[in-house]
Amino acid sequence: MKKTLGDYISLTASDSFEFPAYVATPLEPARAAVVILQEMDQRLHGESIQTMGRKERVKPERFKIGAPWRAVAEKFAALGYLAIVPATYNRGVYGADFGFRHELDRSTRGWHLVRPVEPMPSDKVMLDIQAAIEHGQLNTLTGGVGLVGYCWGGLLAWRAASQLAGVSAAVSYYGGGMTLAEEAKRQPRCPVMAHFPRDNRWISEITVGSFVAQQPAVESYVYDARYGFNAERRQAYDAPSARLAQERTLGFLSEHLMSRPGPETDAMMAISMAS
Protein backbone atom coordinates (compact mmCIF):
# COMPACT_ATOMS: atom_id res chain seq x y z
CA MET A 1 0.00 0.00 0.00
CA LYS A 2 1.26 3.48 -0.85
CA LYS A 3 2.10 5.81 2.00
CA THR A 4 -0.45 8.43 2.96
CA LEU A 5 -0.68 11.34 5.36
CA GLY A 6 -3.52 11.28 7.89
CA ASP A 7 -4.60 13.98 10.31
CA TYR A 8 -7.62 15.69 11.81
CA ILE A 9 -8.94 18.98 10.53
CA SER A 10 -11.80 21.18 11.68
CA LEU A 11 -14.69 21.83 9.31
CA THR A 12 -17.47 24.39 9.67
CA ALA A 13 -20.99 23.78 8.37
CA SER A 14 -23.14 26.54 6.90
CA ASP A 15 -24.91 27.01 10.26
CA SER A 16 -21.49 27.71 11.90
CA PHE A 17 -21.35 24.31 13.63
CA GLU A 18 -17.73 23.15 13.91
CA PHE A 19 -16.80 19.49 13.85
CA PRO A 20 -13.70 17.37 13.27
CA ALA A 21 -12.96 15.25 10.23
CA TYR A 22 -10.19 12.76 9.62
CA VAL A 23 -8.44 13.36 6.30
CA ALA A 24 -6.08 10.88 4.64
CA THR A 25 -4.04 12.51 1.89
CA PRO A 26 -2.05 10.73 -0.82
CA LEU A 27 1.56 11.83 -1.19
CA GLU A 28 0.89 12.87 -4.78
CA PRO A 29 -1.78 15.49 -5.60
CA ALA A 30 -5.24 13.91 -5.42
CA ARG A 31 -7.35 14.07 -8.56
CA ALA A 32 -10.60 13.49 -6.67
CA ALA A 33 -11.99 13.07 -3.16
CA VAL A 34 -14.07 10.47 -1.36
CA VAL A 35 -16.21 11.41 1.64
CA ILE A 36 -16.67 8.34 3.86
CA LEU A 37 -19.85 8.21 5.96
CA GLN A 38 -19.53 5.84 8.89
CA GLU A 39 -22.09 3.34 10.02
CA MET A 40 -24.40 3.49 13.03
CA ASP A 41 -22.44 4.35 16.13
CA GLN A 42 -24.01 3.94 19.54
CA ARG A 43 -22.67 6.40 22.10
CA LEU A 44 -24.67 7.82 24.98
CA HIS A 45 -24.27 10.74 27.34
CA GLY A 46 -23.92 10.33 31.09
CA GLU A 47 -25.59 6.95 31.69
CA SER A 48 -24.49 4.72 34.52
CA ILE A 49 -23.14 1.25 33.87
CA GLN A 50 -22.70 -1.67 36.24
CA THR A 51 -19.11 -2.89 36.41
CA MET A 52 -17.65 -5.33 38.94
CA GLY A 53 -20.43 -4.60 41.45
CA ARG A 54 -20.19 -0.80 41.24
CA LYS A 55 -21.60 1.84 38.98
CA GLU A 56 -19.40 3.90 36.71
CA ARG A 57 -20.32 7.05 34.89
CA VAL A 58 -19.79 7.30 31.14
CA LYS A 59 -17.95 10.54 30.57
CA PRO A 60 -19.62 12.85 28.07
CA GLU A 61 -16.94 13.71 25.55
CA ARG A 62 -16.87 14.71 21.95
CA PHE A 63 -15.32 11.98 19.94
CA LYS A 64 -13.52 11.91 16.66
CA ILE A 65 -13.09 9.03 14.21
CA GLY A 66 -12.49 5.42 15.25
CA ALA A 67 -9.48 3.43 14.04
CA PRO A 68 -11.51 1.25 11.60
CA TRP A 69 -12.73 4.34 9.75
CA ARG A 70 -9.31 5.93 9.69
CA ALA A 71 -8.08 2.69 8.10
CA VAL A 72 -10.81 2.86 5.44
CA ALA A 73 -9.77 6.43 4.65
CA GLU A 74 -6.13 5.45 4.36
CA LYS A 75 -6.98 2.66 1.91
CA PHE A 76 -8.79 5.13 -0.34
CA ALA A 77 -5.90 7.59 -0.04
CA ALA A 78 -3.48 4.85 -1.09
CA LEU A 79 -5.48 4.65 -4.32
CA GLY A 80 -4.96 8.35 -4.97
CA TYR A 81 -8.10 9.85 -3.40
CA LEU A 82 -8.28 12.58 -0.82
CA ALA A 83 -10.30 10.65 1.79
CA ILE A 84 -12.43 12.61 4.26
CA VAL A 85 -14.32 11.09 7.21
CA PRO A 86 -16.54 13.73 8.82
CA ALA A 87 -17.52 13.13 12.46
CA THR A 88 -21.21 12.81 11.61
CA TYR A 89 -22.18 12.01 15.22
CA ASN A 90 -20.89 15.20 16.79
CA ARG A 91 -24.31 16.84 16.76
CA GLY A 92 -25.60 14.07 18.98
CA VAL A 93 -24.77 12.86 22.46
CA TYR A 94 -21.43 11.52 23.50
CA GLY A 95 -19.95 8.78 25.60
CA ALA A 96 -18.13 5.51 25.09
CA ASP A 97 -18.24 3.15 22.14
CA PHE A 98 -19.51 -0.27 23.23
CA GLY A 99 -19.79 -1.92 19.84
CA PHE A 100 -22.83 -3.17 17.99
CA ARG A 101 -26.23 -3.67 19.62
CA HIS A 102 -27.03 -7.09 18.19
CA GLU A 103 -23.55 -8.51 18.80
CA LEU A 104 -23.19 -7.76 22.50
CA ASP A 105 -23.77 -10.40 25.14
CA ARG A 106 -25.55 -9.33 28.35
CA SER A 107 -22.41 -10.14 30.30
CA THR A 108 -20.44 -7.61 28.24
CA ARG A 109 -19.57 -4.36 29.97
CA GLY A 110 -21.96 -1.69 28.82
CA TRP A 111 -24.27 -3.93 26.75
CA HIS A 112 -27.40 -2.04 27.89
CA LEU A 113 -26.00 1.32 26.81
CA VAL A 114 -26.06 0.45 23.13
CA ARG A 115 -28.89 2.24 21.37
CA PRO A 116 -29.83 3.13 17.80
CA VAL A 117 -29.08 6.61 16.52
CA GLU A 118 -32.59 7.84 15.65
CA PRO A 119 -32.32 11.01 17.82
CA MET A 120 -29.58 12.36 15.55
CA PRO A 121 -30.70 15.51 13.66
CA SER A 122 -30.28 14.12 10.14
CA ASP A 123 -31.15 17.40 8.46
CA LYS A 124 -28.30 19.14 10.29
CA VAL A 125 -25.88 16.30 9.57
CA MET A 126 -26.42 16.95 5.88
CA LEU A 127 -24.87 20.38 6.42
CA ASP A 128 -21.77 18.66 7.81
CA ILE A 129 -21.56 16.37 4.79
CA GLN A 130 -21.85 19.39 2.49
CA ALA A 131 -18.91 21.01 4.28
CA ALA A 132 -16.85 17.83 3.76
CA ILE A 133 -17.80 17.80 0.06
CA GLU A 134 -16.71 21.40 -0.36
CA HIS A 135 -13.39 20.66 1.32
CA GLY A 136 -12.86 17.87 -1.21
CA GLN A 137 -13.74 20.13 -4.12
CA LEU A 138 -11.21 22.75 -3.03
CA ASN A 139 -8.36 20.35 -2.39
CA THR A 140 -8.31 18.08 -5.46
CA LEU A 141 -7.19 18.58 -9.04
CA THR A 142 -10.60 18.06 -10.62
CA GLY A 143 -12.98 18.97 -7.80
CA GLY A 144 -14.72 15.62 -8.19
CA VAL A 145 -16.17 14.23 -4.96
CA GLY A 146 -17.72 10.82 -4.35
CA LEU A 147 -19.56 9.56 -1.28
CA VAL A 148 -19.23 6.09 0.22
CA GLY A 149 -21.57 5.35 3.13
CA TYR A 150 -22.23 2.32 5.30
CA CYS A 151 -25.40 1.53 7.31
CA TRP A 152 -26.73 4.93 8.48
CA GLY A 153 -23.95 6.45 6.40
CA GLY A 154 -25.34 4.55 3.41
CA LEU A 155 -28.70 6.21 3.98
CA LEU A 156 -27.00 9.59 4.25
CA ALA A 157 -25.10 8.95 1.02
CA TRP A 158 -28.40 8.20 -0.72
CA ARG A 159 -29.99 11.37 0.64
CA ALA A 160 -26.95 13.46 -0.23
CA ALA A 161 -27.03 12.18 -3.82
CA SER A 162 -30.45 13.82 -4.22
CA GLN A 163 -30.02 16.87 -1.98
CA LEU A 164 -26.47 18.16 -1.90
CA ALA A 165 -24.37 20.07 -4.41
CA GLY A 166 -21.03 18.88 -5.73
CA VAL A 167 -21.55 15.12 -5.53
CA SER A 168 -20.16 13.35 -8.60
CA ALA A 169 -21.05 9.79 -7.52
CA ALA A 170 -22.39 8.01 -4.45
CA VAL A 171 -22.08 4.46 -3.14
CA SER A 172 -24.33 3.06 -0.42
CA TYR A 173 -23.53 -0.12 1.51
CA TYR A 174 -26.68 -1.56 3.13
CA GLY A 175 -28.18 1.87 3.66
CA GLY A 176 -30.59 1.43 6.56
CA GLY A 177 -33.99 2.82 5.63
CA MET A 178 -33.19 3.79 2.04
CA THR A 179 -35.47 1.09 0.62
CA LEU A 180 -38.54 2.32 2.51
CA ALA A 181 -41.22 3.99 0.42
CA GLU A 182 -40.46 7.62 1.22
CA GLU A 183 -36.70 7.24 0.74
CA ALA A 184 -37.05 5.18 -2.44
CA LYS A 185 -38.89 8.10 -4.09
CA ARG A 186 -35.80 10.29 -4.06
CA GLN A 187 -34.32 11.33 -7.39
CA PRO A 188 -30.51 11.27 -7.30
CA ARG A 189 -28.63 14.00 -9.15
CA CYS A 190 -25.57 11.83 -9.74
CA PRO A 191 -24.74 8.19 -10.52
CA VAL A 192 -25.44 5.91 -7.55
CA MET A 193 -24.34 2.36 -6.70
CA ALA A 194 -26.05 0.39 -3.91
CA HIS A 195 -24.98 -2.84 -2.18
CA PHE A 196 -27.65 -4.79 -0.29
CA PRO A 197 -27.58 -7.98 1.82
CA ARG A 198 -30.10 -10.79 1.36
CA ASP A 199 -30.52 -11.76 5.01
CA ASN A 200 -33.79 -9.85 5.69
CA ARG A 201 -32.67 -9.05 9.22
CA TRP A 202 -32.30 -5.29 8.96
CA ILE A 203 -33.34 -4.64 5.36
CA SER A 204 -36.28 -6.53 3.89
CA GLU A 205 -35.52 -8.27 0.61
CA ILE A 206 -39.03 -7.30 -0.50
CA THR A 207 -38.28 -3.60 -0.06
CA VAL A 208 -34.94 -4.06 -1.80
CA GLY A 209 -36.75 -5.54 -4.79
CA SER A 210 -39.18 -2.65 -4.79
CA PHE A 211 -36.31 -0.15 -4.60
CA VAL A 212 -34.49 -1.78 -7.51
CA ALA A 213 -37.64 -1.72 -9.63
CA GLN A 214 -38.33 1.91 -8.73
CA GLN A 215 -34.74 3.06 -9.27
CA PRO A 216 -33.55 1.39 -12.50
CA ALA A 217 -30.78 3.97 -12.96
CA VAL A 218 -29.18 2.98 -9.63
CA GLU A 219 -26.55 0.28 -10.07
CA SER A 220 -27.86 -2.11 -7.41
CA TYR A 221 -26.40 -5.43 -6.24
CA VAL A 222 -27.73 -7.97 -3.76
CA TYR A 223 -25.32 -10.32 -1.94
CA ASP A 224 -25.87 -13.65 -0.21
CA ALA A 225 -24.55 -12.15 3.00
CA ARG A 226 -25.66 -10.46 6.22
CA TYR A 227 -26.13 -6.80 6.98
CA GLY A 228 -22.68 -5.40 7.69
CA PHE A 229 -20.89 -7.88 5.42
CA ASN A 230 -18.18 -5.37 4.53
CA ALA A 231 -16.92 -4.68 8.09
CA GLU A 232 -14.07 -7.01 9.06
CA ARG A 233 -14.62 -6.41 12.77
CA ARG A 234 -18.25 -7.57 12.67
CA GLN A 235 -19.62 -11.07 12.98
CA ALA A 236 -21.48 -10.47 9.73
CA TYR A 237 -18.28 -9.99 7.73
CA ASP A 238 -18.30 -12.00 4.51
CA ALA A 239 -14.98 -11.83 2.68
CA PRO A 240 -16.18 -12.91 -0.82
CA SER A 241 -19.07 -10.42 -0.78
CA ALA A 242 -16.84 -7.67 0.60
CA ARG A 243 -14.22 -8.22 -2.11
CA LEU A 244 -16.79 -8.25 -4.91
CA ALA A 245 -18.50 -5.11 -3.58
CA GLN A 246 -15.13 -3.39 -3.26
CA GLU A 247 -14.19 -4.23 -6.85
CA ARG A 248 -17.49 -2.82 -8.07
CA THR A 249 -17.18 0.27 -5.88
CA LEU A 250 -13.64 1.08 -6.96
CA GLY A 251 -14.51 0.63 -10.63
CA PHE A 252 -17.57 2.84 -10.23
CA LEU A 253 -15.63 5.59 -8.46
CA SER A 254 -12.78 5.44 -10.96
CA GLU A 255 -15.23 5.82 -13.84
CA HIS A 256 -17.04 8.81 -12.38
CA LEU A 257 -14.24 10.54 -10.48
CA MET A 258 -10.80 9.72 -11.84
CA SER A 259 -11.86 10.17 -15.46
CA ARG A 260 -13.13 13.71 -14.83
CA PRO A 261 -11.22 16.38 -16.77
CA GLY A 262 -9.08 18.64 -14.64
CA PRO A 263 -8.52 22.39 -15.04
CA GLU A 264 -5.64 21.84 -17.51
CA THR A 265 -7.79 19.57 -19.67
CA ASP A 266 -10.66 22.06 -19.58
CA ALA A 267 -8.32 24.88 -20.68
CA MET A 268 -6.92 22.81 -23.55
CA MET A 269 -10.44 21.95 -24.73
CA ALA A 270 -11.40 25.65 -24.67
CA ILE A 271 -8.32 26.57 -26.73
CA SER A 272 -9.04 23.77 -29.20
CA MET A 273 -12.64 24.92 -29.68
CA ALA A 274 -11.55 28.54 -30.16
CA SER A 275 -8.92 27.74 -32.79
Specify whether the CB–CB gap between 42 and 113 falls below 8 A: yes
- Which tens digits make up the pLDDT trace of 23-32? 999 999 999 9
Specify whether the CB–CB gap between 208 and 179 falls below 8 A: yes
- Which tens digits make up the pLDDT trace of 41-90? 544 333 333 333 444 443 434 556 888 899 999 999 999 999 999 998 88
pLDDT at 103 over 50: no
Question: What span, in angstroms and rounded, lies between the C-alpha atoms of 103 and 15?
Answer: 37
What average pLDDT does range 119-123 have in this prediction? 69
Which residues form the domain of 112?
A: 4-274
- Domain count of the fold of the chain: 1
User: What average pLDDT does the structure give for the chain?
Assistant: 82
Domain holding 250: CATH number?
A: 3.40.50.1820
